[in-house]
């Protein structure tokens, strides 16, 4: 996918060292954007952020990696300030960072519920709030939030995850209403099963069931999701806001 819409633009992607986030960072860099991304160093190998930076720089772009916990309210403002200082501003936000702590409701702990809601939903709020003053002042901006098809249908053993992703859809629509008059587009992408490190740890029966649900008979790749994100961030989607695009191979049907 090549549009050239992103030359001279600066993007921030949360959770950008792996999976959908990594694919989105590199897709935006290929399209000409300079990209900052956050990552949580305690969760994964410290080599992964460095690899993303190297790949982005090979594309001739400025790439900035920042270790940060998206659930930290003040940390979000610090990250946005650092992006503006180091890259010269911010035009795009992609809220991708997310975790799972799966359990059936009657066994789910308070920590499992709180951890998922704090990262997935509160983290999304933290960064929208942090970029909003910048976008309002410049009267432009693009935001894409990563939700899930399970936000629309629920999922056994994922009440916390489904609730957090449903909250992201409501937050997306509310933010679109509030920021629209400042020429800010806010949309969401809702993937089905995606081939990532997170899904590789799922039981085989869960993966098999998801594969049977897909009318295309395959899982998405991170690049499939990143392509939809890049479209919504592009000038070709200038009149789209408050929408949710499913990227699920028909899994939701």
Residues marked active site are found at 161
| 3-class secondary structure, 202 | coil
Q: Distance (Å, rounded) from C-alpha 79 to C-alpha 66?
A: 7
Contacts of 90 (CB under 8 A, 6+ apart): 10, 11, 12, 36, 80, 83, 84, 131, 134, 141
Radius of gyration (C-alpha) of the chain in whole angstroms: 17
DSSP letters of 76-92?
HHHHHHHHHHHHS---E
In the block, which residue shows the tokens 């949309």?
A: 187
Q: Distance (Å, rounded) from C-alpha 56 to C-alpha 29?
A: 6
Both tokens assigned to 26? 């590199």
Q: Distance (Å, rounded) from C-alpha 201 to C-alpha 228?
A: 25
3-state secondary structure 129-151: HHHHHHHHHHCCEEEEEECCCHH
Q: Distance (Å, rounded) from C-alpha 15 to C-alpha 12?
A: 10
User: Residue 35 belongs to what H/E stretch?
Assistant: strand 34-39
């Amino acid at each position: 996918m090549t549009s050239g819409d992103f030359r001279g633009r600066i993007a921030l992607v949360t959770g950008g060292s792996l999976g959908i986030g990594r694919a989105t960072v590199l897709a935006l860099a290929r399209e000409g954007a300079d990209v900052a991304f956050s990552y949580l160093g305690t969760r994964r190998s410290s080599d992964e952020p460095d690899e993303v930076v190297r790949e982005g720089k090979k594309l001739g772009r400025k790439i900035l990696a920042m270790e940060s916990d998206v659930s930290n309210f003040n940390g979000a403002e610090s990250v946005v300030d650092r992006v503006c200082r180091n890259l010269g501003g911010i035009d795009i936000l992609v809220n991708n960072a997310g975790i799972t702590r799966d359990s059936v409701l009657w066994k789910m702990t308070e920590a499992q519920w709180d951890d998922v809601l704090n990262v997935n939903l509160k983290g999304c709020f933290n960064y929208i709030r942090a970029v909003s003053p910048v976008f309002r002042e410049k009267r432009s901006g693009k935001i894409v939030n990563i939700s899930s098809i399970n936000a629309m249908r629920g999922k056994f053993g994922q009440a916390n995850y489904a609730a957090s992703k449903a909250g992201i859809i409501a937050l997306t629509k509310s933010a679109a209403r509030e920021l629209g008059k400042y020429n800010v587009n806010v949309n969401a992408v809702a993937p089905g099963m995606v081939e990532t490190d997170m899904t590789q740890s799922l039981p085989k029966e869960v993966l098999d069931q998801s594969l049977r649900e897909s009318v295309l008979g395959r899982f998405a790749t991170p690049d499939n999701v990143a392509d939809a994100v890049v479209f919504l961030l592009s000038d070709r989607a200038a009149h789209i806001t408050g929408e949710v695009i499913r990227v699920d191979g028909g899994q939701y049907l």
